[in-house]
Structure formats: C-alpha cells, structure tokens
Amino acid sequence: MSRLVGAEVSRLLSRRFTGIAMIVLLLGLAGYQLLVNDALSPPSREQLATAERVYQDVHEDWVTNHERYEQDCRNTGAPPEECVVTEPTLADFTESATPFKEVARTGLQLSTLLVAVVAFMIAASFIGAEYGSGSIANWLTFIPRRGQVFWSKLLTVTGFAALLGLFGATLVLSGTLVLAHLHGSRIESIRQLAEMGARTILPVVMLAIIGFCIGLLTRHTAGAIGLLLAFVVVWFVRAGPLSSLAWAQRITPWTPEGNIAAIVDRGYTYSVPVNKVTADGVNIEFIQHHVSFTHALVYWSILLALVIIGSLLIFRRRDVI
C-alpha cells in the first residue's frame, strides 16, 4: 500500500494540472493580500483632506438648514423624534482601518473557498485524467487490487488537500499578521484565529474527497467540474432569488455550504423569513436559527462516508474499458 501511495504522490506532484492550480492559488491568495493591505491601511492624507472638505460642506448645510428640514418633516405628520436631523461629525466621513481580527477572519473564510475549489479540481482531475487517457486500465493490469488502488488514490488526494489547506490558512494568517504589524494595527485574538485556520483545513479536505469521488463516478474531470458549477448555481439561486422564501432558508442545516460555514466559524447563524399578519398588514420577521459545529461535523462525516463507500463499491465492480 505504501508503494502505491508513493507512486500516486509522485504522479500527483508531477502533474502539470497540479502545478497550474498551485500557481492560480498562489496568485489568488497574493491578490487577496492586496485587499488586506487596503483594509488595514489607515486613511491617507488625500483621503483625509477630501473627507474634511465633504464634512465642512455637509456641516455648513446642516447649520443653515437643519431646522427647516425638521419642520418639513414634522409637517408631514411624522413623530417629532423621527424628524431630528443630527449634527454630522468628521468621523462620519473618514474611513478608519478595519480591525485586524475582522480582516483575518474574512480572509480565512474567503481563502478557504478558493483553496477548497482548487483542491476539488486537482482531485477531480487526478482521477478524471486517468479515465480520460485510459491509463486506469493499464494501471489495473499491474495492480488489480481495486480496493488498494482506490484507497491509495484517495489517501494521496486527502493528504495533499490537508497540506494545501494548511498552506492556504498559514499564508493568509501570516500575511495578514505581517501587514497588520506594518500598519500598526492592534493584533488580537491570535489563538481564535489560529483555531479557525485549523478548522478551514477540514472543508478543503472534504471538497477534495468529494471532487475525487465525483471524478471517479463521472470518469471525467469536466463532469466533476460541471457538477461543481451546477452546485454553485443552485447555491446562488438559494442565496439570491429564493432568499425571501422560508423553505429555501429552512433547509440550511441540510445544505453542504451551510455546514461548511458552521465548521469554519464554529457554528453558523442563519435567518428564516416569517410572514406575520398584524393590524397594519403583513410584516416579514427574520427568525434566527443556528447550525452547530457538532451538527456540521456529523453531517459531513455521514455525507463523506456515503460518498466514499458508494464510490468504492462502484469502482470495485465497474468494468474498465
């Protein structure tokens, strides 16, 4: 088995697709560091001067007109407390640097998405290319133990994805730390962020396993990528056009993405719109629900077990032509 894993690791690392995917990942993460840099930077002199000018204009307008504005408002019949026009301050017009903790947290969430998609593609391509080129048949004439062949490939992909996830989280966190240090931001919650970084490895590994299994089942990289795109479309439709439908949000605990978010953030809160009929008409209230970290772990464990066992059984029994 170790020989097989060694051969698979050698093949995975020698593949051009792996190299290209790694370059894309590095560029993506580097590009994100530019956004981090912007977020952590304090406002420049030019930005401050512009903000000062805008503030003075607005404040002057307030001094001149705010009583008239309030009177106009009251004339419409609105309650007086709703017609108070507060005095603007300079702080309202200057963007302060985003706190380190917030930047790092968002960075980990976004980078996890990117790294997981890259891991999915590498894994799907790893097995899909074997079917595409037909080399799987050649491989099986040398090593007919299909169970061992399956596990060696899956182990290779899983290990690589774990390293990839670790690499991505380390890069994002360390990059954000360095930039925060350079900009003099207050560095805090390092431990919580490190734990979150560790948790982001799980979705990367999970997506890699799913990618491998779908690549194996569809016998083509394109098939796996097509399914991923279809899933993304469904995800966007649920989060966009269907976001106001209660049932579309109520299924969040049973969706892969809801549980991934619960793993990364150690619990995930979502809202379900509920229509409430009152004397004034129909009000929409958003009731908050929570997907726990444990629920997400159990959900993904069961899902992965089913997918892996199903793929293994099919791989063992399916004719290789």
Cβ 132 to other proteins, closest distance in Å?
Answer: 9
DSSP string, 157-182: HHHHHHHHHHHHHHHHHHHHHHHHHH
Count residues near other proteins (CB under 8 A): 27
Q: Is 139 in the site for other proteins (CB under 8 A)?
A: yes
User: Please, what is the angle between helix 100-133 and helix 146-183, to 10°?
Assistant: 150
- Residue 225 beta carbon to other proteins: minimum distance, rounded to whole angstroms: 18
CB of 155 to other proteins, least distance (A): 14
CB of 129 to other proteins, least distance (A): 7
Window of 26-34, 137-145, 238-246, 307-315 that interacts with other proteins by CB under 8 A: 137-145
Of 10 and 283, which has the nearer Cβ to other proteins? 10
| Out of 82, 142, 278, 282, the residue judged to bind other proteins by CB under 8 A | 142
Q: How far apart are CA 291 and CA 318, in angstroms?
A: 38
Q: Which is nearer to other proteins, 212 or 270 (by Cβ)? A: 212
* Residue 6 C-beta: closest distance to other proteins, Å: 6
Q: Under rule CB under 8 A, which residues in 2-21 are in contact with other proteins? A: 3-4, 6-7, 10-11, 14-16
Cα–Cα distance, 221 to 177 (Å, whole number): 37
**Residues pairing with 281 in the sheet:** 278
Task: Please report whether residue 129 would count as binding other proteins according to CB under 8 A.
Answer: yes
Q: Which of residues 241-280 bind other proteins (CB under 8 A)?
A: none
Helix locations, the chain, DSSP H? 2-14, 16-40, 45-75, 100-133, 135-142, 146-183, 190-218, 221-239, 246-250, 256-264, 293-317
Only segment of 129-137, 243-251, 270-278, 279-287 that touches other proteins (CB under 8 A): 129-137
* DSSP per-residue string spanning 207-249: HHHHHHHHHHHHTSHHHHHHHHHHHHHHHHHHHTTTTT-HHHH
* Of 137, 182, 234, 302, the one binding other proteins by CB under 8 A: 137
User: Which of 53, 68, 74, 145 contacts other proteins by CB under 8 A?
Assistant: 145
Long-range contacts of 145-151 (CB under 8 A, 24+ apart): 146/315, 146/316, 147/312, 147/316, 148/1, 148/4, 149/4, 149/315, 150/216, 150/311, 150/312, 150/315, 150/316, 151/1
Smallest distance, other proteins to C-beta of residue 21, A: 14
Chain positions contacting other proteins, by CB under 8 A: 3-4, 6-7, 10-11, 14-16, 129-130, 133-135, 137-145, 317, 319-321
